[in-house]
Amino acid sequence: MRYDLLRTNRKTLALTVDRNGRLTARAPLHMPLAQIESFITQKKSWIENTQARMASLPKPEQPLEMREGAMLPCLGETLTLHYAPVARVARLGDRLLVPEDETGLTPVLRWLDTQARAEFEAQIRRLSASLGLHPKTLRLSRAHGRWGSMSTRGTLSLNHALILCPPDVLEYVIIHELCHIAHPNHSPAFWAKVEHCLPDYRTKRDWLREHQSLIRFLPDL
């Protein structure tokens, strides 16, 4: 299996697949090549499934548009938009049904925001209880420059476009922001806290960097 190898001063081996299906192994400086390739072989099923999912995602230069058959990533799955005789937007399996007379994206975006708030709140409750770090309020953000933030007043802002990302990536962003309650900076102590909570956080952070274009995939309401 073809892959790019990137050695850095890190402690663990991580695999990432970019939007073009390219596999990258990020490894510690002195990890033996045989160990790296053995790990890749063990993860063959995950790699192939992820490459297939990446191939189904819309390209960065193709923002979401209201048309039959348009594809919409959602929490690690891909939904396909279909016009149907329904009163409101509704999910049916891997299809997202849209009223036949609807021409704009507003109902779809509102449906996504509803899903996002429910999913974000559930994840925040679970992770806050686990970590003992509790934000005061949740705000959905449409900022094109950042995935999340934590204010000094305890407001956790999460970009609504995180609903387009896999669940483990969403989990990383929430953990990252919750850790700012304990460390309101990006000091070594902060990153040590993140790593303690999520040892493979670098893989998720790399995924976000490689899929930054998703933050602009959804138009504003």
On whether both 47 and 109 belong to a single domain, the answer is no
- pLDDT value for 113: 94
Domain count, the chain: 2
On whether both 212 and 136 belong to a single domain, the answer is yes
Domain edge (last residue) among 40, 56, 72 = 56
**What CATH code is carried by the domain that includes residue 172?**
3.30.2010.10
- pLDDT value for 221: 65
71 located within any domain: no
Asked whether 26 and 13 are in contact (CB, 8 A), the reply is yes
52 located within any domain: yes
Q: Select, from the ranges 2-6, 7-11, 58-62, 178-182, the one with the highest average predicted confidence (pLDDT).
A: 178-182
On whether both 33 and 129 belong to a single domain, the answer is no
- Single-letter code of the amino acid located at 74: C
Confidence of residue 17 (pLDDT cuts 50, 70, 90): confident
On whether both 116 and 212 belong to a single domain, the answer is yes
On whether both 118 and 200 belong to a single domain, the answer is yes
Domain edge (last residue) among 32, 56, 80 = 56
- pLDDT value for 1: 80
Q: What is the mean pLDDT of the chain?
A: 90
Where would I find the H helices in the chain?
Answer: 33-42, 44-56, 106-131, 167-182, 188-197, 201-210
Mean pLDDT of 155-163: 95
Asked whether 178 and 150 are in contact (CB, 8 A), the reply is yes
On whether both 144 and 209 belong to a single domain, the answer is yes
On whether both 191 and 120 belong to a single domain, the answer is yes
Mean pLDDT of 70-96: 92
132 located within any domain: yes
Confidence of residue 59 (pLDDT cuts 50, 70, 90): low
pTM of this prediction?
0.74
- pLDDT value for 143: 83
Mean pLDDT of 2-12: 88
On whether both 137 and 198 belong to a single domain, the answer is yes
Res. 40: pLDDT tops 80: yes
On whether both 116 and 211 belong to a single domain, the answer is yes
Confidence of residue 61 (pLDDT cuts 50, 70, 90): very low
User: C-alpha angle 164/8/199, rounded to 5°?
Assistant: 55
Res. 216: pLDDT tops 50: yes
Res. 60: pLDDT tops 60: no
Residue tagged 């609504």 (tokens): 160
What is the rounded CA–CA span in Å between residue 88 and residue 221?
17
What is the rounded CA–CA span in Å between residue 117 and residue 139?
9
Reported as a single tens digit per residue, the pLDDT across 104-136 is 889 999 999 999 999 999 999 999 999 999 999
The total of other beta-carbon atoms located within 10 Å of residue 19's CB is 15
Residue of 54 and 142 predicted with greater confidence: 142
Mean pLDDT of 137-150: 91
8 located within any domain: yes
68 located within any domain: no
User: Which residue range is the domain that position 153 belongs to?
Assistant: 105-216
152 located within any domain: yes
On whether both 48 and 111 belong to a single domain, the answer is no
